[in-house]
Amino acid sequence: MGCSGVTAWRRLRDWTEAGVWPRLHEALLTELRAAGLLDMDDAAIDASHVRALKGGFTPDLRQSTVPARAASTTSSS
């Protein structure tokens, strides 16, 4: 059957606060390593979460492709 949305959110919050997800992740990695199914050659790191210790790459600033808002026709006086 499942559970109500409120119960699901409460469990998610409680498990997150209890540190369940990092432990579950580590347990999964351990099982995969033991079974010889973890190939780190295929791993990738999301660079948006990795701090650039030496400043990192600064992309060129691009002009927005979103059109500017039209001036308001409502009088402000």
Q: What is the pLDDT of residues 18-50, one digit of tens each?
A: 999 999 999 999 999 999 998 888 777 765 656
**Is residue 28 situated within a structural domain?**
yes
The 3-class secondary structure across 18-32, one letter per residue, is: CCHHHHHHHHHHHHH
Asked if residue 64 belongs to a domain, the reply is no
Q: How far apart are CA 45 and CA 64, in angstroms?
A: 28
Phi and psi at residue 73, in whole multiples of 5°? -95, 0
- The verdict on residue 67 lying in a domain is no
In a domain, 53, yes or no: no
**pLDDT score at 70:** 72
Entry pTM:
0.49
How many structural domains is the chain composed of?
1
| C-beta of residue 29 within 8 angstroms of C-beta of residue 38 | yes
Domain span including residue 31: 5-39
- The tokens for 20 are 């369940």
- Confirm whether 29 is domain-assigned: yes
Answer yes or no: is 45 within a domain.
no
